Amino acid sequence: MVYEVYLRSFADSNGDGIGDIGGLRARLPYLRDLGVDALWITPWYPSPMADGGYDVRDYCDIDPCFGTLADADALIAEAHELGLRLIIDLVPNHTSEQHPWFTAALAAGPGAPERDRYFFRDGRAGGAEPPNDWISAFGGSAWSRCSGPDGEPEQWYLHTFAPQQPDLDWADPGVQADFDAILRFWLDRGVDGLRVDAAPAMAKTPGLPDAGHAPGALFESTSWVDNPHWDVEAVHDVLRRWRAIGDEYDGERIFVTEAVVNGPERLSRYVRPDEMHTTFNFDYLRSAWDAGSLRTVIDATLTALAPVGAPATWVLSSHDETRHVTRFGRADTAAATMGFDVAAGSADLALGLRRARAATLLTLALPGGAYLYQGEELGLPEVEDLPEDALQDPTWERSGHAARGRDGCRVPLPWSGQKPPFGFTAEGVRPWLPQPGDWAGLTVEVQQRDPDSALSLYRSALRLRRSLAALHEAPLTWLRSEPEVLAFARGRSFTCVANLGARPVALPVAGRVVLTSGPCPGHLPPDTAAWVVAGDPPDDLPHGVPAPVQRTAGSLGG
């Protein structure tokens, strides 16, 4: 299980209100105790932070707000000592507008070779209109016009994301060679893997033809077919090149891509044997809380990945998505991504949490890997009422204040205490995003002491997941069940049952219940999941795991 660390919001060690490497180092034992295998750390490079660090000014250094290269080295060493592996975030599609490559390209003027690293083009209609109809993931055109030294408008440059994030042209040999060196820089320092940001953006159809987007179209890449600026075939040449570099290193160095593409078959192309090892499964994240939809996604994922031999990677939340406690508490439980869920409606958080807990047991019982986003182990909801003047996500401005963006899932973690900053930073310091005043019951300190807390559920589930051999290798087999119930076996000894319907059901299998997501008074209530082990519980149950969970003692429907 990989734990996503959104560094700015994890823990602050120096009292400036921004999470940093020192804060993460101090909390590594927390992550080990949680049962994490590896960490993925969001970008920590020097950055003007126009997009939370996904606008990189220097790929081979650390932003002073996060620490130093020496801190990064210490973190890598300490993580390894605790048995934790470390994955860093590589942002190859675009740089910051302040990257020396881009400032040099701007200064060199139209036609200069420095501009070949990016996409500079003349505008249409005598220069006044963007070169084509491509759109930005944050809203509006994907092109911005630059001006010459005299202030006169000049060429346009492409940015799939914010204007402060100009796209690199990956057909340029200089770009390719520089990134080879960047990869080696970090692999040499001992990182165990790289998460490749926005991978499908990294190739464009030559000639940059129009995509045929309707006016006002949103960036809905899951529905795009043959799009000239997303999921273009040449992306895979770059991924193969990197895989070869990773394979030169000892130990297992892994790549995971972020690729929001049109369905599991397109996604499976990113994890062919000579490409990336894993890729996030956003279809699973986007599925409604509905047995039929989830089963369809699970089957489609496993079917598409089988021929390429790659493991599935299940995700419920990330720093880009509405937290799933909130999503699952809404009338429409299917997620919109990147903060565009403008009219999402209000959420019943008690219902959302119950479903989120069931979803945890479901997710951690599926074959393959899982990514957990910091704070989900605390059952944190999305913070939907951040004051407008606190919002920092570029989506807010780019959408003309229509979509609030992703800040609500990025609020700093509550560690301890009765009021903000809840141990995230020094007492009296304002965190970079304000925390809700009513999070005292959600702190790590409180949840650690409560056997019924979300944190305790994650810990128990992760410990069991380690100790139950069936959860490592055995394939998934669906069991006969009512339509609103998901029931599957892993091997002969393990079963996961989740009731997504509105009525309680009897457990469709016999065995010993080793963990449930909520109270189970003799049956499986709505929005509840259970793990059942055949026969006696395994001898190797780690100490401290309730087996069976106390409140489910006795047989459960049998």
Ramachandran area for residue 523 (φ above 0: left; ψ -120 to 50: alpha; else beta):
beta
Nearer to ligand GLC, 18 or 198 (CB): 198
Strands, E, within 409-493: which ranges?
A: 476-478, 485-490
Residue list 168-197, contact with ligand GLC (CB under 6 A): 197
| Rounded Cα distance, 168 and 177, in Å | 13
Q: Which amino acid is at 332?
A: D
Binding mask 376-415 for ligand GLC (x = CB under 6 A): ----------------------------------------
Task: Quote the least distance from Cβ 63 to ligand GLC, whole Å.
Answer: 15
Q: Which residue is nearest to ligand GLC (CB)?
A: 54
Nearer to ligand GLC, 164 or 460 (CB): 164
Residues 6+ apart with CB under 8 A from 227: 211, 221
Q: What are the CA-CA distances from residue 71 to residues 65, 76, 229, 250, 253 (Å)?
A: 12, 9, 37, 23, 21
Taking CB under 6 A as the criterion, the residue among 4, 51, 114, 382 binding ligand GLC is: 51
Taking CB under 6 A as the criterion, the residue among 320, 341, 377, 382 binding ligand GLC is: 320
Task: Quote the least distance from Cβ 262 to ligand GLC, whole Å.
Answer: 16
Residue from 197, 283, 320, 393 carrying the catalytic annotation = 197
Residue from 122, 210, 226, 248 carrying the catalytic annotation = 248
Task: Quote the least distance from Cβ 335 to ligand GLC, whole Å.
Answer: 14
| Rounded Cα distance, 189 and 73, in Å | 7
Task: Quote the least distance from Cβ 51 to ligand GLC, whole Å.
Answer: 5
Question: How many residues sit in the footprint of Ca ion (CB under 5 A)?
Answer: 5
Q: Could you tell me which of 114, 122, 240, 252 has the C-alpha nearest to residue 190?
A: 252
Q: Which residue is nearest to Ca ion (CB)?
A: 20
Binding mask 177-216 for Ca ion (x = CB under 5 A): ----------------------------------------
205 is in the binding site of which of Ca ion, ligand GLC, none (Cβ under 5 to 8 A by kind)?
none
Contact 476, 496 (CB under 8 A): no
231 is in the binding site of which of Ca ion, ligand GLC, none (Cβ under 5 to 8 A by kind)?
none
Contact 469, 8 (CB under 8 A): no
Nearer to ligand GLC, 168 or 455 (CB): 168
Nearer to ligand GLC, 85 or 195 (CB): 195
Residue list 20-79, contact with Ca ion (CB under 5 A): 20
Q: Does 54 bind ligand GLC (CB under 6 A)?
A: yes
Task: Quote the least distance from Cβ 201 to ligand GLC, whole Å.
Answer: 8
Taking CB under 6 A as the criterion, the residue among 198, 202, 285, 391 binding ligand GLC is: 198
Residues 6+ apart with CB under 8 A from 188: none
Mapping DSSP to helix (H, G, I), strand (E, B) and coil, where does residue 60 land?
Answer: coil
Question: How many residues sit in the footprint of ligand GLC (CB under 6 A)?
Answer: 9
Taking CB under 6 A as the criterion, the residue among 231, 258, 275, 382 binding ligand GLC is: 258
Task: Quote the least distance from Cβ 71 to Ca ion, whole Å.
Answer: 11
- 411 CA to centre of own chain: 15
Of 8-16, 200-208, 265-273, 479-487, which segment contacts Ca ion by CB under 5 A? 8-16
Q: Does 41 bind ligand GLC (CB under 6 A)?
A: no
Q: Does 84 bind ligand GLC (CB under 6 A)?
A: no
Taking CB under 6 A as the criterion, the residue among 7, 87, 91, 315 binding ligand GLC is: 91
Tokens of 384: 């939907």
Contact 86, 39 (CB under 8 A): yes
248 a catalytic residue: yes
Q: Which residues are registered as beta bridge partners of 157?
A: 120, 144
Q: What are the CA-CA distances from residue 521 to residues 451, 513, 526 (Å)?
A: 17, 12, 12
197 a catalytic residue: yes
| Rounded Cα distance, 14 and 383, in Å | 25
| Rounded Cα distance, 294 and 248, in Å | 38
12 is in the binding site of which of Ca ion, ligand GLC, none (Cβ under 5 to 8 A by kind)?
Ca ion
Nearer to ligand GLC, 18 or 509 (CB): 18
Q: Which amino acid is at 313?
A: T
User: Which one-letter DSSP state was computed for residue 541?
Assistant: P
Supply φ then ψ for residue 357, to 5 degrees.
-65, -40
Q: Which residues are registered as beta bridge partners of 531?
A: 496, 515
Taking CB under 6 A as the criterion, the residue among 40, 161, 170, 186 binding ligand GLC is: 161
Q: What are the CA-CA distances from residue 346 to residues 328, 343, 407, 436, 442 (Å)?
A: 11, 9, 17, 17, 20
Strands 369-373, 193-196: pairing kind: unpaired
Taking CB under 5 A as the criterion, the residue among 1, 4, 6, 12 binding Ca ion is: 12
18 is in the binding site of which of ligand GLC, Ca ion, none (Cβ under 5 to 8 A by kind)?
Ca ion
Half-sphere exposure of 75 (CA within 13 A, CB side): 29
Axis-axis angle for helices 235-247, 173-189 (nearest 10): 30
Nearer to ligand GLC, 91 or 530 (CB): 91
Contact 84, 77 (CB under 8 A): no
Footprint of ligand GLC on this chain (CB under 6 A)?
A: 51, 54, 91, 161, 197-198, 258, 319-320
| Catalytic residue annotation | 197, 248
Footprint of Ca ion on this chain (CB under 5 A)?
A: 12, 14, 16, 18, 20
